[in-house]
Structure 1
Amino acid sequence: MTTPIMTESDLRAAVARELPGVRADLERLVRIPGIAFEGFDHTQVERSAEAVAELLRGCGLDVDIVRAGGQPAVIGRKAAPPGAPTVMLYAHHDVQPVGDRALWESDPFEPVERDGRLYGRGAADDKAGIMAHVAALRAFGDRLPVGVVLFIEGEEEYGSDSLERLLAEHRDKLASDVIVIADSTNWDVGVPALTTSLRGIVNCFVEVRTLNHAVHSGMFGGAVPDALTTLVRLLATLHDDAGNVAVEGLVGKEEASVDYPEDRFRAEAGLVEGATLIGTGRITDRLWTKPALAVLGIDAPATAEAPNALVPAAKAKLSVRLAPGDDPKRAYAVLSDHLRKHAPWGAQVTVTFEHDGAPCVIDATGPVCDAARSAFRTAWDGTDPVDIGVGGSIPFIATFQEMFPQASILVTGVEDPHARAHGPNESLHLGEFARVCLAEALLLSRVAAAARG
């Protein structure tokens, strides 16, 4: 007997029915501090994986917790009805470290609602992505019109070091016709988006040395360069006077499809009064299709402990976001060459690679993308989704493209520009989350309908 197809009104009612339980389970996940970074308690990542596995089993999926030398991922499967496609639903259960807890208005691992937003580390990035998948599965119950494979990663925030091994080892289990990656953002509160490009990343360390050891700043200052001043001068060569990245050889384009109003962008970024934006051209090009370079940290004496001595060595961590079309290995090479070439005062410069990830462009055409746009338009009451680029990096998308070349990839989002993912007071807009859950249920229904023709 053919399983009865759920109508749009059926799905609306089912998602609304499931949302209270979905939110309660999201709050339970947020309470688990599953941080995959070195130096943190990785038993909490294990606990997080077990909690996700339990949720998927509750949806009737066959579930395995898997590892490939890194943190645990969760794979859940439910076979497709005859003739129906299989959809992979991706999210990650690990979270970023919280940083300075004094900057949080509430405990980062105790979810709190304020003004329609749920605050807590991972509430948006990306435990809400997990729960959007769960909400859709619960809404369908035993009437799911497609096969599903849920792949919930456990170390995305730490760089997905074991992801390629996991994909290779479980390739047959993960094979899908459509891949939905719920780890991006929407254009605004009330305006959905499909992400069609993401920048890549290269992180590295640069160390300058001018002395074999510290010396008296009065006895030698004025003739001997200290390493911290030398490092500052070297870092200043990375941008021109307008703030554009000045490393020759990095790819940059001007091809963003929409622009970002400056007043809105300044407010969402939290720019202080009087500070100007850096770079030239449209804001969306600066964020999506041109490189960016930031100094993430500096190793040098703390001001409270600094003696009156010239610093012999200083080190900085750099992060380059690469425009689509660039290559991470080549970008690291040109950055390294730039740093060595511009060493002030003959300082010794050492550049050390940390990690990288490829940028990507996603083909947003075809029946699957049409189904996604239709689902979003319905869930957002007639508002068309915007095709956006993202300045952040999700390097594994390029890996998915390589390993599953026949699959249609959709990059969707649970976040909005006010979510503050990775920062203090991360939050999820609960009204938008309800729309995301409905949109995913509608998407699965319409993907199935498109396959039926």
Structure 2
Amino acid sequence: MVPMTDSSTPNSPTPENARAALTAQMPFVKDALTELVAFRSVHSTPGLEQDNADAAAWVVNAFRTVGVPVEPHVTSDGSTAVIGLREPAAGYPTILLYSHFDVQPASDVENWTSSPWELTERDGRWYGRGAADCKGHVVMHLAVLRALGELTATYPDLAKVGVRVVVEGSEERGGYGLEDLLASSPDLFAADVFLIADSGNDAIGVPAIGTALRGTAPVTVTVETLNQPMHSGQYGGAAPDALLSLIKLLATLHDDDGLVAVDGLDSDARWEGRGPDAATFRADAGVLDGVDILGQAQGLNPNDLTVARPSITVTGLDSLSVADAVNAVVARAAAHVSLRVPPGMDATTAQDALVTHLENHVPQHARMSIARDTLASPFLADITGPALARLTRALADAYGAPDTAEIGSGGSIPLCNALLAQFPDAELGLFGIEEPGCRIHSADESVSPSEIAAMGTAELLFLARTAAEVAAKQ
């Protein structure tokens, strides 16, 4: 690995040069994103195997076209990861560019204004599943590499930096496919700096770098009371209702103020970094008029609860839909309970606390079973290294801002911890094009083209300045 320190970079593009180079790539970005969004690349979903295979093939071809000799790698969870390396010149570092081509489902098609699988422009934004998370990052990397190639004629040292590409195929709904590949074949991931493009800013036009991620420790809880649903007129009132029992159980997870009420998950942590105030959070989250934000009565800021403390959300419920309601006592009901784990809290210990709580609160007239889902540890970034200092400066310069904000996220990216455990001398930067208006994981997901251009400019500046710094020392 190559040590790097900051210095002046006279032989690299100016922010204005870089911005112009990325702006010239935006027609390509839109065309490429249109093609990539069209693939319904939801991992581990029966019937979508060809979409996932075609998306992986598209990514392979796209990165080979810009000069990175990538190859597809089938991982232990059945997904395809696209990985390759453009070798560095002697004495130059290798920068890893990460993103993923798989997406969340878009089963709620009726809530989309336009097809989730067709990139659609409205009011200056591009709509489609994965437009922001994370296909927009895939095409951003491609645009940066195209721009880098064009600038090499003026700045030949730009071609000397090693570029490793890792594009995952199961980040959203997979297991540990990529992490298993990292453990078995670490040479595929070796780099001096990891640029993880799967995050974003608190607001459009305000550059940020991520310093904290919560982990996950989810479970699926199932409640059963009868062999089969029974007529509610004939049996209702005496036959125990599984759905009512499940509702009662889930209600014990929070207190009357909506805060987590599970022994072992109590916390008084506060978020010290940048974050939205209550009014901004209300607008970003679309909180309805007359509905209070949780924690306000206790004097808590939104990011105290979304970054610094554990949270519990019911993200799925199995029972009869209202549209299919029948006059029957429900015999079985299940819920997916998502537990987010903040930095400083062990994911296994947190999941144990949740399971113990559920076991201690089984409704009297019900039978319960619990399935533990995959764990992901929280992540706390170290941004004090020279490469991250260069990245934060590049972000500020790309946006024309005086500095770069440090923000936390409630999301989880298990790969971050795994990469640094395997390569402890490397540095890792977490950034990206996602901002509150993107509505990732929701209907009408979208991206602002201006964020793709600005973040791409920052990545280009970082690569160029890294090359110029090494060249100046040789």
- What is the TM-score when the length of structure 2 is the normalising length? 0.90
Q: Is the Cα–Cα contact under 8 Å of residues 256 and 389 in structure 1 kept in the other structure?
A: no
Question: Within 2, Cα distance between the matches of 1:223 and 1:98?
Answer: 40
Q: What is the aligned partner in structure 2 of residue 15 from structure 1?
A: 22
Counterpart among 249, 274, 283 of residue 267 in structure 1: 283
Separation of aligned partners in 2, 1:95 and 1:220 = 44
Residue 309 and residue 387 in structure 1: after superposition, are their counterparts in 2 closer, same or farther (change >3 A)?
A: same
Report the Cα distance in structure 2 between the residues aligned to 1:309 and 1:11, rounded to whole angstroms: 65
Distance 1:429 1:364 in 2: 26
Q: Does 1:44 align with 2:44?
A: no
- Asked if 1:402 is matched to 2:421, the reply is yes
Q: Does 1:329 align with 2:329?
A: no
Q: Which amino acid is the alignment partner of residue 266 of structure 1? A: R
Asked if the contact 1:237–1:342 (Cα under 8 Å) also holds between the matched residues in 2, the reply is: yes
- SS of the equivalent of 1:195 reads strand
Provide the rounded CA distance (Å) in 2 between the counterparts of 1:165 and 1:392. 21
Deviation at 1:5, TM superposition (A): 4.1
Partner of 1:26: 33
Task: Structure 1 unaligned segments of length 5 or more: list them.
Answer: none
Aligned match of 1:257: 273
Does 1:154 pair with 2:169? yes
Out of 35, 46, 54, the residue aligned to residue 42 of structure 2 is: 35
Task: Work out whether residues 36 and 58 of structure 2, in 8 Å CA contact, stay in contact via their aligned partners in 1.
Answer: yes
Partner of 2:191: 176
Letter in 1 for 2:457: L
- Is the Cα contact below 8 Å between 1:184 and 1:414 reproduced in 2? yes
The aligned residue for residue 194 of structure 1 is: 209
**Matches of 2:276 and 2:242, distance apart in 1:** 40
- The residue matched to 1:349 in structure 2 has which SS? strand
Shift of residue 160, structure 1, vs aligned partner: 4.4
Match of 2:155 in 1: none
Q: Is the 8 A contact 1:357 1:396 kept in 2?
A: no
Following superposition, the deviation at residue 201 of structure 1 comes to: 0.7
Counterpart amino acid of residue 264 in structure 1: T
Aligned counterparts of 2:116 and 2:244: Cα–Cα separation in 1: 37
Equivalent position SS for 2:210: strand
* 1:131-170 equivalence runs, <5 A: 131-141=139-149, 142=152, 143-170=158-185
Whether 1:300 aligns to 2:316 is no
Q: 1:129 aligns with which of 129, 137, 144?
A: 137
Name the aligned partner's letter for residue 269 of structure 1.
A
8 Å contact 1:200–1:395 — kept in the other structure? Answer: yes
Question: What does the per-residue CA deviation read over 1:308-356, in whole Å, with 9 as the maximum and x for residues that have no partner?
Answer: 3332332111111111122222222111110110122253221111222
Report how many residues are paired. 450
Residues 312 and 7 of structure 1: CA distance in aligned 2, closer, same or farther (over 3 Å): closer
Query: 1:263: Cα distance to partner?
Result: 1.4
SS at match of 2:279: helix
Give how far 1:220 is off: 4.7
Kindly tell me: are residues 140 and 213 of structure 1, through their superposed partners in 2, closer, same or farther at Cα, counting changes over 3 Å?
A: closer
Question: Where does residue 57 of structure 1 map in the other structure?
Answer: 64
SS class of match (1:113): strand
Q: How far is 1:372 from its partner?
A: 0.9
After TM superposition, the structure 1 = structure 2 runs for residues 213-292 of structure 1, keeping only pairs within 5 Å, are 213-218=228-233, 220-250=235-265, 252=267, 253-279=269-295, 280=298, 281-292=300-311
Hey, what's the Cα distance between the residues in 1 that align with 2:408 and 2:292?
23
1:208 maps to: 223
The CA deviation string for residues 170-203 of structure 1, in whole angstroms up to 9 with x for no partner, is 3113200000000001121110110001001122
Deviations 1:24-78 (A, max 9, x none): 2122111222111322411111111111111111111122111123211111211
Q: Match of 2:102, as an amino acid? A: D
Rate the CA distance shift 1:383–1:159 in 2: closer, same or farther, 3 A: farther
TM superposition shift of 1:88: 0.5
- Partners of 1:119 and 1:305 lie apart in 2 by 31
Deviations 1:402-435 (CA, angstroms, capped at 9, x unpaired): 1221110000111111001111111110112111
Q: 1:64, 1:74 within 8 Å by CA — same for their partners in 2?
A: yes
Q: How far did residue 374 of structure 1 move?
A: 0.9
Q: Please, which of 81, 86, 105 is the counterpart of residue 97 of structure 1?
A: 105
Unaligned runs of 5+ in 2: 1-9, 153-157
1:131 match: secondary structure: helix
Give yes or no for contact 1:256–1:288 (8 Å, CA) kept in 2. no
State the AA in 2 paired with 1:7: P
Deviation at 1:161?
A: 2.6
Q: How far is 1:17 from its partner?
A: 2.5
The residue number in structure 1 matching 2:4 is: none
Q: Is the 8 A contact 2:191 2:426 kept in 1?
A: yes
TM-score (norm 1): 0.94
Residues 440 and 275 of structure 1: CA distance in aligned 2, closer, same or farther (over 3 Å): same
Q: Quick one: which of 367, 377, 381 aligns to 1:348?
A: 367
Given the alignment, which residue of 87, 91, 111 partners 2:95? 87
Q: Structure 2 CA distance, aligned partners of 1:99 and 1:307?
A: 24
By how many angstroms is 1:383 displaced?
4.1
Cα pair distance change 1:82/1:390, threshold 3 Å: same
> Does the 8 Å CA contact 2:11/2:468 hold for their aligned counterparts?
no
What SS class does the counterpart of residue 156 from structure 1 fall into?
Answer: coil
Q: 1:301 to 1:61 in 2, by over 3 A?
A: closer
> How many Å separate the matches in 1 of 2:261 and 2:61?
50
1:315 matched to 2:334? The reply is yes
Give the structure 2 partner of residue 360 of structure 1.
Answer: 379
CA contact (8 A) 1:93 1:154 kept: yes
Q: Counterpart amino acid of 2:44?
A: F
Shift of 1:113: 1.2
Does the CA-based 8 Å contact 2:44-2:174 persist in structure 1? no
CA RMSD of aligned residues (A): 1.9
Structure-2 residue corresponding to 1:380: 399
Paired residue for 1:113? 121
Give 1:304 deviation, angstroms.
4.2
The 1:254/1:68 distance shift into structure 2, 3 A limit, reads same
- SS of structure 2 residue aligned to 1:157: coil
* SS of equivalent residue, structure 1 residue 268: helix
**Conservation of the 8 A alpha-carbon contact between 1:22 and 1:135:** yes
